[in-house]
């Protein structure tokens, strides 16, 4: 048994020890409670979920369902309180404790979310306009208004974000990796939600109608979040338990149209999908609970496109008299999905050709007959326990423990064999204000990845340790410099350890109240996952073999951007960025072993560069009845050795989202354009087209319920994101949401 | 404030215009459309010579380019295995997409050995005697999705490797970090073009890497070889990027290729080669 020092090195242990001994000011007895209530200025209705920050301290909270908030340990004297909420103008109020008593804050609606609070970019709550990196926030309305069935459908409308199947790309970082080694870190309430075996993401385990907001941080995030955040961070923030009993129901059902071409009709059955989410939330004194369950099932629009998914999740939170908070969350997912690797052929047999008629050739049948009926079975358990406490007005402590257990199995060869992967982790973070113009966040985290199974050539253990520190220096009232450094060490089986230092520097300058300039540079890395190193299986004419040794990917990321708000109704955001990658890990065809079967293994390939420009804008017209949001991204990606574009990176993406709001009735169009993919990995000879996707929605509010009807892929446009996999054909959806 | 007001109107106008354009322009195009008729290439293979005893299978493959750069496409553009014991065999390749196929090749595979490009028995339209000619291109179009009479002569003597060349490869310099493959090839004449380069008489691309020296054995057809060369390929590179980093010389450092002759059933064991790893870039 190795000692901690032997396992992780002397320097790491010293660093951990130093961080744990950072000075903490102990709360004094004469500190006070700040109590208040947040209401809508127009209606007087109390508002839940408003961010309340006491400026010049680390103290902050969120209003409960009754709109009330309490902050403990506030030092006596004058304080400025900032109250903010998505969809409302930020409000500043001065209080004098202990004389102010309970305060009442009336927030005025803003027609557009110009400056929401974000927590992911700097590991603490700051206004968006003070961030030194590009961040996009999706609010609850933007998620629920579209009858999205999964969170990734909502994320597709974020400028700079696109998906290749389940793989999320922020500014082209990931490409297509079959959910193996994502380059984007997915967090749920700040806790990593990445599997220990494949480094994959399941969008299904996220309880969609429990999501309060989503923050998308673009650019390298390793300086704060470690390995895996090389291409950005997505943080999904779920709601807190409600104060009063609240039953929420969200349902949607849809039906697929026929394919656009009569030659492609492959079944007389009605193809459909449905999703039902039910949740209940209530507070019992200082203890709040929230439970939710969902079922999402579909026949799919192709043979072997069907799936059945169940999710159950729950959250318990408890506030203590000293303003500390304990939160426990658990979620379980069961996913049985049929497997459709690729279509059989794009060619339709000519009825006059007798020999061809014996070979059915359609886009909606899988290539290999032996794949038919194979079901991929996935079972996940995700849980975390978080504790936070303000030690004083100048210091705040957060501790969390988490466990993600994922089981992956299929029936390609034999049924019922599962490969469990366990990822227990811990994290401690301390926020500290040594001076009024310095905000220091420091912490340590550790995670153990245990993977076993026949897909991975036996058992594997990876121990990941990280320590980070970041100082936000407010040089002037409108100028912030952020400097951070993180050190990571990953010990894998008997291999030499991966070690990485990830520095980051960020600058935010606000020359006027409506203009925010930002710039940042940072180093990032990603340690190859167990799947990339050790996965080994074969199916049909594909075989994946393990790799002898893979180095960690490394990147330098640079960005500069500006955000200009134009009155209360419009904004423009522009950014230029460049990411320089070294030792990119990509699945490549093994030339020496490919013969009648395509043999693939992960390899460190070439250095790569992705640079581009991103524009985002939004406006509200006609007394805020007409909303138009748009995003445009240009990507220039290059494999620097082969002098060609990286695979699966479109050069242009455009999102355009006009919506009309007339009292209780609203309608919206979501248009998305993705230029033809320049480079693919496998079937380069196949026909490829640009992607036009137009979705339409109409919504009516009636007796507390929201009824939605819509059409996805209105044009019934045929495209492939991934070779030989047609995108969803036109489908019609209806939905009902309500809370009682 | 006034600037904000004007800018706000410009943004609004631009967005409304863009939204209208987007909706108007995506009206009729349906994207990918069905292609009628299953494209195929058909013909007859005429075999010459006797199949070697270690023959595993023989297939016909269609390549979009020549020399082939897309191994995946090759793996998916194959005929069924041919009956190579008959004097001739008909074949059909259901090609994955319409377009031009620059080479139709008869490929031989040895038992327990991977297929490499020296294992080609014949190429449609290509000639290796009496002047080199490149293979003929076959065009598979929507109007003519099935192309008939693509006949090829396959010569088993090209792979009847009853002799052995052997020797020691000595590596000088440092191994590049991005080394993917090392190979050794024997040519009857020094290749002067891509067609000749991709048709060695014998080839092994599974040499060990990160070693100071290695004693190799290369099975070849009997005959005389003017050029025996060591090949290097970098990680992520295509087959076009093979580098020649050392060859069998008349004397070490002479720069002159040495000739070697080997008879059926014999082994020539002193074909030693010194390799300069500095050329592997």
Examine residue B109 and state whether it is found in any structural domain, yes or no: yes
Same domain for A112 and A167, yes or no, is: no
**CATH number of residue B47's parent domain:** 2.60.40
User: Could you give the angle at the alpha carbon of B51 between the alpha carbons of B45 and B52, nearest 5°?
Assistant: 150
Structure tokens that stand for A22 in this block: 């950072």
| pLDDT given for residue A214 in this prediction | 92
Phi, psi of A259 (to 5 degrees): -60, 160
CB A281 within 8 A of CB A314: no
Examine residue B31 and state whether it is found in any structural domain, yes or no: no
Nearest CA in chain B to A624: B12
Exposed, middle or buried by CB within 10 Å (0-12, 13-18, 19+), for A575? Answer: buried
The pairing of beta strand B55-63 with beta strand B99-101: unpaired
Examine residue B152 and state whether it is found in any structural domain, yes or no: yes
Same domain for B180 and B270, yes or no, is: yes
Same domain for A167 and A95, yes or no, is: no
Examine residue B30 and state whether it is found in any structural domain, yes or no: no
DSSP-based three-state secondary structure for A128:
helix
Q: What is the mean pLDDT of residues A594-605?
A: 71
CB of B194 within 8 Å of a chain A CB? The answer is no
Same domain for A356 and A488, yes or no, is: yes
CA distance B252 to chain A (A): 30
Same domain for B268 and B247, yes or no, is: yes
CB contact under 8 A, B76 and A669: no
| pLDDT given for residue A601 in this prediction | 81
pLDDT tens across A222-253, in order?
A: 788 999 899 999 999 998 887 778 899 999 99
Residues with Cβ within 8 Å of residue A97, at least 6 apart in sequence = A32, A34, A74, A75, A76, A77, A79
- Judged against a pLDDT cut of 80, whether residue A28 lies above it is answered with no
| pLDDT given for residue B15 in this prediction | 66
Q: Print the domain residue range for B135.
A: 40-158
Same domain for B266 and B229, yes or no, is: yes
Average pLDDT, chain A: 84
Same domain for B275 and B165, yes or no, is: yes
DSSP A211-273: EEEEEEEES--HHHH-TT-TTEEEEEEEPPPPSS-EEEEEEEEEEEPPPSSGGG---SSPPEE
Same domain for B154 and B165, yes or no, is: no
Examine residue A123 and state whether it is found in any structural domain, yes or no: no
pLDDT tens across A155-206, in order?
A: 998 999 999 988 999 999 999 988 888 899 999 999 999 999 888 888 999 9
Same domain for A531 and A636, yes or no, is: yes
Examine residue A318 and state whether it is found in any structural domain, yes or no: yes
CB A595 within 8 A of CB B109: yes
CB contact under 8 A, A347 and B22: no
CB A610 within 8 A of CB A635: yes
pLDDT tens across B127-145, in order?
A: 655 445 668 899 998 888 8
Same domain for B154 and B210, yes or no, is: no
**CATH number of residue A89's parent domain:** 2.60.40.1120
Same domain for A103 and A161, yes or no, is: no
Exposed, middle or buried by CB within 10 Å (0-12, 13-18, 19+), for A497? Answer: middle
Examine residue A265 and state whether it is found in any structural domain, yes or no: yes
| pLDDT given for residue B71 in this prediction | 65
Same domain for B268 and B239, yes or no, is: yes
| pLDDT given for residue B115 in this prediction | 72
Q: What are the counts of helices (DSSP H) followed by strands (DSSP E) for chain B?
A: 3, 20
Helix (H) or strand (E) holding A409: strand A395-410
Rounded Cα–Cα distance for residues A248 and A238 (Å): 14
Instruction: Select the residue of B34, B115, B234 nearest A263 (Cβ to Cβ).
Output: B34
pLDDT tens across B161-192, in order?
A: 889 999 999 999 999 888 878 889 999 999 88
Examine residue B33 and state whether it is found in any structural domain, yes or no: no
| pLDDT confidence band for A506 (50 / 70 / 90) | very high
Examine residue B235 and state whether it is found in any structural domain, yes or no: yes
Q: Which residue has the tokens 């992520």?
A: B236
Rounded Cα–Cα distance for residues A722 and A542 (Å): 16
A561: how many CB neighbours lie within 10 A of its CB? 23
Rounded Cα–Cα distance for residues A299 and A305 (Å): 6
Rounded Cα–Cα distance for residues A615 and A561 (Å): 10
**CATH number of residue A655's parent domain:** 2.40.170.20
Structure tokens that stand for A455 in this block: 């897909």
The β-bridge partners of B45 are B89, B152
Of the candidates A220, A235, A45, A273, which has an alpha carbon nearest to the alpha carbon of residue A155? A235
Q: What percent of chain A has pLDDT over 90?
A: 44
Examine residue B255 and state whether it is found in any structural domain, yes or no: yes
Mutate to test the interface with B, among A591, A593, A642, A690 (most CBs of B within 10 A): A591
Instruction: Select the residue of A350, A641, A686 nearest B97 (Cβ to Cβ).
Output: A686
Examine residue A282 and state whether it is found in any structural domain, yes or no: no
CA distance A98 to chain B (A): 40
Q: Which of B130, B158, B186 is the last residue of a domain?
A: B158
CB of B115 within 8 Å of a chain A CB? The answer is yes
The pairing of beta strand A51-54 with beta strand A60-62: antiparallel
Same domain for A99 and A157, yes or no, is: no
User: Could you give the angle at the alpha carbon of A700 between the alpha carbons of A694 and A705, nearest 5°?
Assistant: 120
- Judged against a pLDDT cut of 70, whether residue B70 lies above it is answered with no
Rounded Cα–Cα distance for residues B95 and B64 (Å): 10
| pLDDT confidence band for A414 (50 / 70 / 90) | very low
Same domain for A106 and A190, yes or no, is: no
Nearest CA in chain A to B15: A628
DSSP-based three-state secondary structure for A198:
coil
Same domain for A83 and A232, yes or no, is: no
| pLDDT given for residue A11 in this prediction | 47
Contacts of A689 in chain B (CB under 8 A): 31-32
Examine residue B47 and state whether it is found in any structural domain, yes or no: yes
Q: Which of B110, B126, B158 is the last residue of a domain?
A: B158
DSSP-based three-state secondary structure for A686:
coil
Same domain for A23 and A97, yes or no, is: yes
What ipTM, to 2 d.p.?
0.70
SS3 of A28-43: the string is: CCCCEEEEEEEEECCC
Same domain for B267 and B203, yes or no, is: yes
- Judged against a pLDDT cut of 80, whether residue B34 lies above it is answered with no
Structure tokens that stand for A211 in this block: 């999501």
The β-bridge partners of B100 are B139
A241 vs A575, residue with greater confidence: A575
Examine residue A201 and state whether it is found in any structural domain, yes or no: yes
Q: Chain A to chain B, count of Cβ pairs less than 8 Å apart?
A: 180
Number of domains in chain B: 2
Q: What is the mean pLDDT of residues A574-603?
A: 79
Structure tokens that stand for A648 in this block: 């699966």
pLDDT tens across A117-163, in order?
A: 777 777 888 888 889 999 998 887 778 777 788 899 999 989 999 99
Examine residue A142 and state whether it is found in any structural domain, yes or no: no
The β-bridge partners of A215 are A137, A235
pLDDT tens across A308-345, in order?
A: 999 999 999 998 877 788 999 999 999 998 888 778 77
CB contact under 8 A, B26 and A605: no
Contacts of B182 in chain A (CB under 8 A): none
Question: What separation, in Å, do the N-terminal and C-terminal C-alpha atoms of chain A show?
Answer: 56
Examine residue A285 and state whether it is found in any structural domain, yes or no: no
| pLDDT given for residue A14 in this prediction | 46
Contacts of B143 in chain A (CB under 8 A): none
pLDDT tens across A69-116, in order?
A: 888 778 888 888 988 877 788 888 898 887 777 889 998 877 665 567
Same domain for B136 and B168, yes or no, is: no
A535 vs A635, residue with greater confidence: A635
| pLDDT given for residue A411 in this prediction | 45
Question: What separation, in Å, do the N-terminal and C-terminal C-alpha atoms of chain B show?
Answer: 60
Nearest CA in chain B to A569: B8
Q: Which of B106, B127, B158 is the last residue of a domain?
A: B158
The β-bridge partners of A691 are A674
CB contact under 8 A, B75 and A350: no
CB contact under 8 A, B97 and A346: yes
Interface of B with A in 29-48 (CB under 8 A): 29-40
Same domain for B125 and B44, yes or no, is: yes
Same domain for B197 and B239, yes or no, is: yes
**CATH number of residue B228's parent domain:** 2.60.40.1120
| pLDDT given for residue A501 in this prediction | 94
Residues with Cβ within 8 Å of residue A395, at least 6 apart in sequence = A24, A25, A58, A430, A431, A432, A433
CB of B69 within 8 Å of a chain A CB? The answer is no
Rounded Cα–Cα distance for residues A478 and A475 (Å): 8
Number of domains in chain A: 2
CB contact under 8 A, B71 and A569: no
| pLDDT given for residue A462 in this prediction | 93
Q: Print the domain residue range for A83.
A: 4-117
Residues with Cβ within 8 Å of residue A208, at least 6 apart in sequence = A143, A148, A149, A150, A151, A250, A277, A294
| pLDDT given for residue A595 in this prediction | 53
| pLDDT given for residue A147 in this prediction | 75
Rounded Cα–Cα distance for residues A12 and A10 (Å): 5
CB contact under 8 A, A572 and B33: no
Same domain for A205 and A86, yes or no, is: no
Q: Which residue has the tokens 């209940």?
A: A280
Contacts of A260 in chain B (CB under 8 A): 30
Same domain for B138 and B182, yes or no, is: no
């Amino acid at each position: 048994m190795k000692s901690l020092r032997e396992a992780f090195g002397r320097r790491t242990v010293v660093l951990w020890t130093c961080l744990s001994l950072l000075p903490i000011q102990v709360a004094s007895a004469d500190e006070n409670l700040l109590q208040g209530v947040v209401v809508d200025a127009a209606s007087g209705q109390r508002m839940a979920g408003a961010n309340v920050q006491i400026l010049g301290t680390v103290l902050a909270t969120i209003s409960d369902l009754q709109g009330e908030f309490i902050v403990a340990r506030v030092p006596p004297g004058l304080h400025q309180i900032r109250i903010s909420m998505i969809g409302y103008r930020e409000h500043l109020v001065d209080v004098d404790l202990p004389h102010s008593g309970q305060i009442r804050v009336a927030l005025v609606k803003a027609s557009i979310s110009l400056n929401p609070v974000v927590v992911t970019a700097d590991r603490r709550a700051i206004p968006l306009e003070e961030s030194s990196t590009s961040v996009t926030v999706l609010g609850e309305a933007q998620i629920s208004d579209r009858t999205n069935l999964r969170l990734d459908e909502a994320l597709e409308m974020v400028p700079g974000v696109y998906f290749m199947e389940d793989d999320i790309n922020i500014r082209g970082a990931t490409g297509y990796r079959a959910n193996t080694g994502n380059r984007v870190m997915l967090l749920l309430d700040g806790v990593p939600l990445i599997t220990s075996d494949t480094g994959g993401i399941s969008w299904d385990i996220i309880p969609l109608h429990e999501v309060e907001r989503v923050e998308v941080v673009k650019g390298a995030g390793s300086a704060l979040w470690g390995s895996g955040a090389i291409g950005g961070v997505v943080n999904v923030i779920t709601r807190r338990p409600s104060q009063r009993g609240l039953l929420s129901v969200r349902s949607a059902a849809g039906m697929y149209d026929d394919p656009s071409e009569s030659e492609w009709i492959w079944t007389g059955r009605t193809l459909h999908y449905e999703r039902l989410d039910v949740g209940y939330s209530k507070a019992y004194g200082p203890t709040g609970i929230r439970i939710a369950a969902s079922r999402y099932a579909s026949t799919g629009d192709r043979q072997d496109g069907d799936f059945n998914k169940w999710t159950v999740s729950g959250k318990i939170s408890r506030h203590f008299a000293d303003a500390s908070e304990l939160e426990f969350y658990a979620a379980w997912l069961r996913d049985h999905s049929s497997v459709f690797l690729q279509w059989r052929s794009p060619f339709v047999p000519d009825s006059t050709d007798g020999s061809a008629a014996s070979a059915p050739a359609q886009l909606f049948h899988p290539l290999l007959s032996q794949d038919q009926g194979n079901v991929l079975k996935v079972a996940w358990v995700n849980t975390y326990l978080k504790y936070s406490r303000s030690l004083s007005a100048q210091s705040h402590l957060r501790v969390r423990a988490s466990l993600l257990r994922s089981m992956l199995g299929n029936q390609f060869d034999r049924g019922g064999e599962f490969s469990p992967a366990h990822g227990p982790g811990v994290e401690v973070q301390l926020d500290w204000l040594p001076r009024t113009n310095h905000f220091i966040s420091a912490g340590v985290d550790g995670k153990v990845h245990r993977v076993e199974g026949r897909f991975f050539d036996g058992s594997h253990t990876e121990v990941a340790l990280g320590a980070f520190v970041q100082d936000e220096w407010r040089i002037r009232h409108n100028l912030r410099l952020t400097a951070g450094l993180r050190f990571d060490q990953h010990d894998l089986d008997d291999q030499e350890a991966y070690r990485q230092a990830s520095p980051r520097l960020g600058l935010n300058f606000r020359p006027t109240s409506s203009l925010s300039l930002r710039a940042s540079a940072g180093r990032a890395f990603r340690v190859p996952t167990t799947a990339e190193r050790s996965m080994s299986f074969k199916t049909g004419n594909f075989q994946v073999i393990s790799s002898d040794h893979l180095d960690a990917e490394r990147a330098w990321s640079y960005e500069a951007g500006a955000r200009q708000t134009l009155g209360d109704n419009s904004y423009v955001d522009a950014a230029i960025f460049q990411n320089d990658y070294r030792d990119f890990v990509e699945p490549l065809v093994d030339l020496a072993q490919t013969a009648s079967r395509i043999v693939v293994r992960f390899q460190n390939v070439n250095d790569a560069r992705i640079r581009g420009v991103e524009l985002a804008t939004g406006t509200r017209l006609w007394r805020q009845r007409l909303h138009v949001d748009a995003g445009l991204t240009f990507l220039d990606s290059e494999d620097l050795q082969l002098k060609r574009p990286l695979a699966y990176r479109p050069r242009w993406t455009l999102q355009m989202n006009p919506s009309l709001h007339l009292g209780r009735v609203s309608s919206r169009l979501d248009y998305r354009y993705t230029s033809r993919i320049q480079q693919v990995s496998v079937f380069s000879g196949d026909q490829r087209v640009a992607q036009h996707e137009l979705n339409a929605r109409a919504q009516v509010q009636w007796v507390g319920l929201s009824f939605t009807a819509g059409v996805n892929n209105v044009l019934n446009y045929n495209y492939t994101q991934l070779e030989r996999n047609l995108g969803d054909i036109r489908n019609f959806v209806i939905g009902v949401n309500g809370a009682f | 404030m006034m600037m904000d007001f004007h800018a706000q109107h410009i943004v609004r106008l631009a967005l409304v215009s863009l939204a209208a354009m987007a909706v108007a322009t995506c009206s009729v195009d349906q994207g990918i459309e069905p292609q009628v008729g299953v494209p195929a290439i058909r013909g007859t293979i005429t075999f010459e010579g006797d199949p070697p005893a270690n023959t595993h299978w023989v297939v016909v493959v269609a390549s979009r380019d020549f020399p082939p750069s897309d191994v995946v496409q090759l793996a998916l553009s194959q005929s069924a295995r041919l009956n190579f014991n008959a004097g001739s065999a008909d074949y059909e390749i259901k090609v994955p997409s319409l377009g031009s196929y620059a080479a139709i090749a008869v490929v031989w595979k040895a038992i327990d050995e991977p297929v490499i490009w020296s294992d080609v028995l014949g190429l449609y339209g290509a000639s290796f005697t009496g002047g080199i000619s490149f293979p003929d291109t076959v065009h598979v179009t929507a109007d003519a999705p099935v192309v008939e009479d693509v006949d090829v002569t396959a010569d088993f003597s090209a792979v009847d490797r009853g002799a052995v060349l052997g020797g020691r490869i000595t590596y000088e310099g440092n191994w590049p970090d991005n080394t993917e493959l090392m190979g050794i090839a024997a040519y009857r004449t020094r290749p002067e073009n891509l067609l000749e380069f991709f048709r060695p008489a014998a080839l092994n691309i599974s040499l060990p890497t990160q070693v100071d020296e290695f004693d190799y054995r290369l099975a070849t057809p009997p005959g005389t070889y003017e050029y025996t060369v060591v090949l290097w390929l970098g990680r992520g590179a295509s087959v076009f990027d093979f580098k020649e980093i050392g060859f069998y010389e008349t004397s070490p450092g002479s720069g002159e290729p040495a000739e070697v002759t080997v008879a059926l059933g014999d082994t020539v064991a002193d074909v030693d080669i010194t390799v300069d790893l500095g050329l592997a870039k």
